[in-house]
Structure 1
Amino acid sequence: MTTHTNIDLAIPGINCASCAGRVERALKGLGGLQDIAVSPVTKRAHMRLDGTTLPQIDAVLTQAGYPPELTTTTLDVAGMSCASCANRVQHALSARPDVVSASVNLLTNSASVTHAPGLDPAELVQTVTRSGYAAKPPDGRTTPDAHRDEALTLRDDFHLALMLTLPVFIAEMGGHVFPGFHRWLMGLAGTTPLWLAEMLLTAVVLAVPGRRFFTIGVPALLRGRPEMNSLVALGAGAAFLFSSVVTLAPQFVPAASRHVYFEAAAVIVTLILMGRWLEARAKGQAGEAIKRLVELAPDQATLIRDGRDMQVAVSNLLPGDLVRLAPGERVAVDGQITEGHGHIDESMLTGEPVPAEKAPGDPVTGGTVNGMSALTYRVTATGKDTALSRIVAMVETAQAAKLPVQALVDRITRIFVPAVMSLAALAFALWLAFGPGLAEAVVAGVAVLIIACPCAMGLAVPVSIMVGTGRGAELGVLFRRGEALQRMAEADRIAFDKTGTLTLGRPTLTRIVTAGISENDALRLAAAAEARSEHPLAAAIMSAATVRGLDLPDAQLAKTTAGRGLTARADGRDLLIGNLDALREAGVPADPALVDAADRAAADGGTPAHLAIDGVHRACFLLADPERPEAAQTIAELGHMGLRCAMLSGDLQATADTVARRLGMVEAQGGLRPDDKLEAIERMGPRTIFVGDGINDAPALAAAGTGIAIGSGTDIAIESADAVLMSGDTSGVVRAIRLARAVMRNIRQNLFWAFAYNIALIPVAMGVLVPFGGPALSPMLGAGAMALSSVFVVGNALRLRRAT
């Protein structure tokens, strides 16, 4: 990779020549760039890197207010076996000047690279290949499928290694169990022929099932970047070479040190292969949640075409098609009921055990299961646009994320393998200088190389994330960003929006108070203005107008102001609907009688909406939005978990206070605009969770330490959040926090095991206990312990599949 790299960036924020000038000045101020050309027409910037890197360019442009559009490419990476491997691939990718960031996941064997749009993914593949690992674009298989294939290959290699190793192991170790066995064997075959047979069998073990350790580990060692395979290759290779010299040229070895360790070399490879096989099997189980989600979608559907039913592949369905849904059948893709009435089990997506009632006009989601009624629905989304596909993508994104705690692990593993090699060399030198002989020095060095296990360190965090986010999907909790797990687990405060979050979000109009206008006229004009609004209060006014059978005039110039209300023109009159602040800002004098009615409603937990016509306060609509049945229990449980609960509402302070009192909340802030909620969240600090559902909640959701969106809320709220509850049930918040805490507890357990294991056993392998009468650790036991350490970490993470 040369330093003179041409970069062409799309910068959508450029709207004029002045913008282009600011971008160009920002780039020139950075230095290390040549041939800078910024076009306000194409909204693109071209430059040649001459010492500067894309991360620096991205930071400068973002700070200037013109962030560039970047591309993210995912690669499958083969051959990674430990955290050192993942760090090496990540370092190689990040070192490219045209790459902004790279994240490598050892568990999924993948790399996610954010880079300049013009960079050919083939160049990224070459970069990974040069670092010693094979890479390619994703092949479309789910993670469990990939791990299953890997597990099958490792199983076959393990069985072959085991078959070849057993004779060697029995020949050398059988005498420890049956004292006369070794003398009998030596008398039968002779020492040299027996050692030659062991050497041949061990050579096959190393060259066939164990070849992966040498083909990956030795080149990495020669490049000066050793990793786990390098340790195994050095350890097993050293034991084999020393034993081979003793067998073929014993005159070069002191008589007291003429022992062979073929069984150690063979058993090391066999046990590590067994560990990796079990690890790959466990990894597949860790990713089963995604596979189960993918398998929810059926392969066939009953399409209605020209009045006839016909079976077609789901992949052939198009938006607008009519699909017949038989009782008990799984919904193929997202759609809207056009005929029939029944119930659909949505538990696999929402975690809700009670089937949802469906009637014409109601949405259905692909992957859910129909009840006992025949239904017909019209397709609204297919392929990657379906809710199920978006959920799968969301879970995969979260599973590939790195938590802040991972940074510490990465720093340690980056120096771990070189440190182990240094300790192995030190152990060899000390044993050679102060020990009985050369053979014991070789054994000590080999034992240190084999006992070290950065594999467990590398798996400790990502395997817990994978299982935890997968379990969350099964419970109806989707983590859009993996790092939200850590922030949610560390939170000490939680704030809720009121309408649609703690309440059902389906308010009903309970009373209309008017001044100088009839109720029907007030309702007719208000409903006309609210016709295009998505606010829950608008829906209540529209519903009341429909019940009364009112004809609505067309409204023009409708404009919504978040946290205030809307303005429109209908029947030749200027309309304003909103709260009292909206009336004051518009200069409309408030009618005392209407204000008094609004205050009484707010004191009872209701919500008033005021109507002004041609600048005169004419009506007050009193609406009631009941609390969710589970909301009080949710607040109580959160309190028991040590979280301080608060309500942030755009409703009147009196209404917010009343609802908060009913739910058992001490703190409630009412009358908040979206920017007020944002300020309140920032005051509460970074360890705050915010739960909301509306467009006006989006800024607070994005700014909170962790934002949780109610799945029944708006798309903007969901996109701004870190986690999404697939159902509107607020008890999902409790499940999400409990799961996050369980995941972080699991990660701490894994990290403790991975680090404590190495801290405790590496000194034992070096022989520090021997001078005090303690045991030395054989390379075979070291290999077994190393293999089991990774299996332990993955097995511990799998316990999260039972988390609730």
Structure 2
Amino acid sequence: MPEKIELPITGMSCAACAARIERELNKLKDVGEARVNFPLKKAVILPKREIELKEIISIIRDIGYDVDLEADVTIRARKEEAELKKDFIWSACLSAIVMVFSMWMVLPNMQHQNFILLILTIPVQFYFGLRFHRSTILNLKHFTADMNTLISVGTSAAFFYSAFVTFLPHVIMSAGMEPMTYFDSSATIITLILLGRFFESKAKTRTYTAIKMLYELSPKECVLLKDGKEVRISTDALEVGNLVLIRPGEKVTVDGEVTEGSTYVNESMITGESLPVHKSTGDEVIGGTINGKGSITVKVTRVGKDTVLAKVIRLVEEAQFTKAPVQRLADKLAGVFVPIVILISIGALVVWWVFGPEPKLTNALLSFVSVLIIACPCALGLATPTAIMVSTGVGAKRGILIKSAEALELTNKARYVLFDKTGTLTEGVIVLADVIPLGGFSETDLLGVAYNLERQSEHPFSEALRKKAEELNIAPIKVDNFQAVVGKGIKGEIQGKTCFVGNMALYEDSGKALEGSIKQLYQEKELSGMSPVLVWRGSDLLGLLTFSDRVREESKDVVTELNSMGIETVMITGDSQAGATTISEKVGITNFFYRVLPDKKAQVVEDFKKKGVTIMVGDGINDAPSLAASDIGVAMGKGTDIAIESADVVLMKGHLSRLVSLIKLSKKTLWVIKENLFWAFIYNILGIPIAFGVLYPFFGIRLQPMFGALAMMVSSISVVSNSLRLKMFKE
């Protein structure tokens, strides 16, 4: 079967554009499946048989889009963001002057002033606003309508009517109407929408940043061992079977097998677990993970697209493709409302032309334009952005960084919340949980030996012991003949006596046997998901220490509140069944998955998405695919940069309780958006029959375009005022 084709697409302005390209590509008989992703601006085509690339590009160009085969996705995203910023600044400058000329009589002659307004508005309407008109023409070809159509129709009606008034004011006056211009309406609407698009573009750039960060996890260079010499080469030049030297503190270059040396490796990017894993001859290591204090030689087993890191990157990219585009509420309404408005305005033109008084053509055109200007609710363009803008500000003050407007609209519908364990429900830091002295020894005796031995090692327990030792003012003591016993523990001489810190296997290997009650206690701690170690000196057992990852104080309350809201909570972890059971019981989660790797974690998310809107909460690199795959990805603020960039929402300072605040804020925001849409429509809908001329035969009343502008102003003020109510949001 031919390989899949990936093409970067330019010219898309919304999810509807992506759907349109997808439909056209799927019509090709040689295409098995075509998927187009709007955030990534990329098409993936799976051909049934060999297909000409120029044929695919030709179809994309025929429907008004283009293919950029050379540009890097990140460069392209930044270029688009820069263009929107430049267009907004120029448009805002021109619109400000237009507003001044519209509000005050700057020149003594009104017609001269209108000509100045016309000249200032032309670049805003037809250059900076070109993207909206271009999309409208494309929509027209496919008999669809969206927000772009609404913006184009509304601003064009205002502009062309104003231009007509500027050149032929006497024609308007002959119909008994005042020759008013609405250049300010046209320019201001385009400027405000450009500002909204700029903020959206800025948020979408983060999608590419997450993927780029994943690529950067793998070191660019490595030390190759060849004929007994160390040679620094590019990682891309490595082949299966090569021997690579990994020094202390370096990133592991590629997937491979340890052939020499031993160390501890931080594999949290894959497993999510904070405890480094011991590696020695024969053990597998994964590219991108971080080596501890040991030096190891690794034999390369996988390169390129076969590595674990490459699979994680592929998962994040694929998750972006499978994420269904959320059609915004305003787009849905625009899709229905715009065609109806255009039909009504055409109806008004025909009725006035056939049945209206003289001058028939002038009256017909005025009625046509009046319906368009009055009926097109320009405040609809403000309804969602203003509410989202105020809401994101309110969220930021509460430590919630909302990066996606779609996520904020969707969160209120959440049915499932999936939690990562380490670093999300727990703090992700190894702590000394229990200090249990035995045989009459004191806590100081026990910790004095444990701390001084662990101080010599690279084991993660040493940091937890250091903090406790500082609390108790335990002084460092010289350790002689220190030795690490692989996979079991450590030993050394303190003041002439041999001391040990290790597991039960090391204790029994030294020819000793644990008492029944102590053995039972050790096994209970092990089954509860903790890491117990024994400490002994010569023949004296000093006591038992247990280490664990501490559960966040707020975790149980958050889970309880989510359940009370009718949201099902689930935990997914790479930890053992015992560790998963312990944490789930402590926080009150009944449904959990354990020993789950990144690809399986994303699959679990996909399965839940089929049942309802799903939120995924995580903090690690291993969570990036599942955060991207979920309907709403929520990252902990103290998590990895890659998790934060892959998510739609970030809980700053790592406060899990803010998740509940996010859901409540989303519910309140959606309610305000619906109220805004009501205010955006109500004045205009009431004005449509009057603009059409329903009252003219009975009372001689006609609604001039001027009242349409007034309706737009009142509805815009109502929308903005209503959105500001969100500032008073209380949980």
Which TM-score bucket, shorter chain as reference?
0.5 to 0.7
Query: For residue 241 of structure 2, what is the aligned residue in structure 1?
Result: 320
Query: For residue 330 of structure 1, what is the aligned residue in structure 2?
Result: 251
Query: For residue 420 of structure 1, what is the aligned residue in structure 2?
Result: 338
| Residues 152/258 of structure 1: CA separation in 2 closer, same or farther (3 Å cut) | same
User: 229, 240, 251: which one pairs with 2:148?
Assistant: 229
Instruction: Give the whole-Å Cα distance in 2 for the aligned partners of 1:314 and 1:117.
Output: 34
How far off its partner does 1:118 sit?
Answer: 4.1
Instruction: Give the whole-Å Cα distance in 1 for the aligned partners of 2:720 and 2:9.
Output: 24
Instruction: Give the whole-Å Cα distance in 2 for the aligned partners of 1:345 and 1:278.
Output: 37
Residue identity matched to 1:166: A
Written as runs of structure 1 = structure 2, the 5 A alignment for 1:521-540 is none
| Residues 704/155 of structure 1: CA separation in 2 closer, same or farther (3 Å cut) | closer
Residues 1:161 and 2:91 aligned together? yes
Instruction: Give the whole-Å Cα distance in 2 for the aligned partners of 1:739 and 1:242.
Output: 50
Query: For residue 222 of structure 2, what is the aligned residue in structure 1?
Result: 301
Query: For residue 88 of structure 1, what is the aligned residue in structure 2?
Result: 20
How far off its partner does 1:348 sit?
Answer: 4.7
Instruction: Give the whole-Å Cα distance in 1 for the aligned partners of 2:253 and 2:279.
Output: 16
How far off its partner does 1:152 sit?
Answer: 0.9
**Mind listing any 5+ residue stretches in structure 1 that lack a counterpart?**
1-9, 11-69, 176-181, 465-481, 497-538, 550-602, 607-623, 647-654, 666-683, 711-717, 724-731, 797-804
Query: For residue 269 of structure 1, what is the aligned residue in structure 2?
Result: 190
Residues 1:252 and 2:184 aligned together? no
Query: For residue 193 of structure 1, what is the aligned residue in structure 2?
Result: 112
Equivalences, count: 542
With the length of structure 2 as denominator, give the TM-score of the two structures. 0.55
Per-residue CA shift, 1:464-516, capped at 9, x if unaligned?
Answer: 9xxxxxxxxxxxxxxxxx9xx99x9645999x9xxxxxxxxxxxxxxxxxxxx
| Residues 780/295 of structure 1: CA separation in 2 closer, same or farther (3 Å cut) | farther
Helix, strand or coil for the counterpart of 1:239?
helix
Instruction: Give the whole-Å Cα distance in 2 for the aligned partners of 1:739 and 1:757.
Output: 26
Query: For residue 400 of structure 1, what is the aligned residue in structure 2?
Result: 321
Instruction: Give the whole-Å Cα distance in 2 for the aligned partners of 1:292 and 1:662.
Output: 31
- Preserved contact between residue 345 and residue 370 of structure 1 (Cα < 8 Å): yes
| Residues 661/169 of structure 1: CA separation in 2 closer, same or farther (3 Å cut) | closer
How far off its partner does 1:393 sit?
Answer: 1.2
Helix, strand or coil for the counterpart of 2:322?
coil
Helix, strand or coil for the counterpart of 1:310?
strand
Instruction: Give the whole-Å Cα distance in 2 for the aligned partners of 1:253 and 1:83.
Output: 41
User: 152, 168, 185: which one pairs with 2:82?
Assistant: 152
User: 116, 121, 128: which one pairs with 1:209?
Assistant: 128
How far off its partner does 1:453 sit?
Answer: 4.9
| Residues 701/372 of structure 1: CA separation in 2 closer, same or farther (3 Å cut) | closer
How far off its partner does 1:351 sit?
Answer: 4.1
Query: For residue 400 of structure 2, what is the aligned residue in structure 1?
Result: none
Instruction: Give the whole-Å Cα distance in 1 for the aligned partners of 2:556 and 2:62.
Output: 56
Query: For residue 372 of structure 2, what is the aligned residue in structure 1?
Result: 445
Residues 1:129 and 2:47 aligned together? no
Helix, strand or coil for the counterpart of 2:312?
helix
| Residues 783/262 of structure 1: CA separation in 2 closer, same or farther (3 Å cut) | farther
- Preserved contact between residue 73 and residue 113 of structure 1 (Cα < 8 Å): yes
Instruction: Give the whole-Å Cα distance in 1 for the aligned partners of 2:719 and 2:53.
Output: 35
Higher relative contact order by CA 8 Å / sep ≥ 6: 1 or 2? 2
Instruction: Give the whole-Å Cα distance in 2 for the aligned partners of 1:625 and 1:296.
Output: 35
Helix, strand or coil for the counterpart of 2:144?
coil
Residue identity matched to 2:154: G
| Residues 660/172 of structure 1: CA separation in 2 closer, same or farther (3 Å cut) | closer
Residue identity matched to 1:293: L
RMSD, aligned CA: 6.6
Residue identity matched to 2:311: R
Instruction: Give the whole-Å Cα distance in 2 for the aligned partners of 1:157 and 1:423.
Output: 29
Query: For residue 369 of structure 1, what is the aligned residue in structure 2?
Result: 290
Residues 1:385 and 2:306 aligned together? yes
How far off its partner does 1:391 sit?
Answer: 1.0
Instruction: Give the whole-Å Cα distance in 2 for the aligned partners of 1:379 and 1:456.
Output: 53
Instruction: Give the whole-Å Cα distance in 2 for the aligned partners of 1:751 and 1:781.
Output: 23
Per-residue CA shift, 1:204-252, capped at 9, x if unaligned?
Answer: 2233322222333234325533443333222222222111111112233
Helix, strand or coil for the counterpart of 1:378?
strand
Residue identity matched to 2:101: A
How far off its partner does 1:638 sit?
Answer: 10
| Residues 288/757 of structure 1: CA separation in 2 closer, same or farther (3 Å cut) | farther
With the length of structure 1 as denominator, give the TM-score of the two structures. 0.51
Instruction: Give the whole-Å Cα distance in 1 for the aligned partners of 2:371 and 2:76.
Output: 37
Instruction: Give the whole-Å Cα distance in 2 for the aligned partners of 1:361 and 1:428.
Output: 79
Residue identity matched to 2:66: A
| Residues 161/779 of structure 1: CA separation in 2 closer, same or farther (3 Å cut) | farther
Residue identity matched to 1:153: E
Instruction: Give the whole-Å Cα distance in 2 for the aligned partners of 1:644 and 1:242.
Output: 57
Per-residue CA shift, 1:399-447, capped at 9, x if unaligned?
Answer: 22235xx68x49995774242242366489889999xx98798477346
- Preserved contact between residue 8 and residue 68 of structure 2 (Cα < 8 Å): yes
Instruction: Give the whole-Å Cα distance in 1 for the aligned partners of 2:115 and 2:630.
Output: 62
Written as runs of structure 1 = structure 2, the 5 A alignment for 1:540-555 is none
Helix, strand or coil for the counterpart of 1:215?
helix
Residue identity matched to 2:194: L
| Residues 632/330 of structure 1: CA separation in 2 closer, same or farther (3 Å cut) | closer
**Mind listing any 5+ residue stretches in structure 2 that lack a counterpart?**
357-362, 393-406, 422-486, 489-503, 510-519, 532-547, 572-576, 611-615, 619-625, 632-642, 644-653, 691-706
Question: Identity over the aligned pairs, expressed in percent?
Answer: 24
Instruction: Give the whole-Å Cα distance in 1 for the aligned partners of 2:121 and 2:606.
Output: 60
Residues 1:290 and 2:217 aligned together? no
Query: For residue 220 of structure 1, what is the aligned residue in structure 2?
Result: 139
Instruction: Give the whole-Å Cα distance in 1 for the aligned partners of 2:297 and 2:720.
Output: 53
Residue identity matched to 1:332: T
Query: For residue 171 of structure 1, what is the aligned residue in structure 2?
Result: 101
Instruction: Give the whole-Å Cα distance in 2 for the aligned partners of 1:400 and 1:703.
Output: 12
Per-residue CA shift, 1:735-793, capped at 9, x if unaligned?
Answer: 9x99999998888777666655434413344456999xxx976698699999999x99x
| Residues 393/158 of structure 1: CA separation in 2 closer, same or farther (3 Å cut) | same
User: 207, 231, 237: which one pairs with 1:310?
Assistant: 231
Instruction: Give the whole-Å Cα distance in 2 for the aligned partners of 1:108 and 1:236.
Output: 30
| Residues 295/645 of structure 1: CA separation in 2 closer, same or farther (3 Å cut) | closer
How far off its partner does 1:706 sit?
Answer: 8.0
Written as runs of structure 1 = structure 2, the 5 A alignment for 1:41-120 is 73-96=5-28, 102-113=34-45, 116-120=48-52
Instruction: Give the whole-Å Cα distance in 1 for the aligned partners of 2:716 and 2:235.
Output: 48
| Residues 492/171 of structure 1: CA separation in 2 closer, same or farther (3 Å cut) | closer
Residue identity matched to 2:13: S
Helix, strand or coil for the counterpart of 2:107?
helix
- Preserved contact between residue 164 and residue 202 of structure 1 (Cα < 8 Å): yes
- Preserved contact between residue 95 and residue 188 of structure 2 (Cα < 8 Å): yes
Helix, strand or coil for the counterpart of 2:232?
strand
Residue identity matched to 2:214: L
| Residues 378/260 of structure 1: CA separation in 2 closer, same or farther (3 Å cut) | same
| Residues 746/227 of structure 1: CA separation in 2 closer, same or farther (3 Å cut) | same
Instruction: Give the whole-Å Cα distance in 1 for the aligned partners of 2:711 and 2:250.
Output: 57
Instruction: Give the whole-Å Cα distance in 2 for the aligned partners of 1:273 and 1:319.
Output: 51
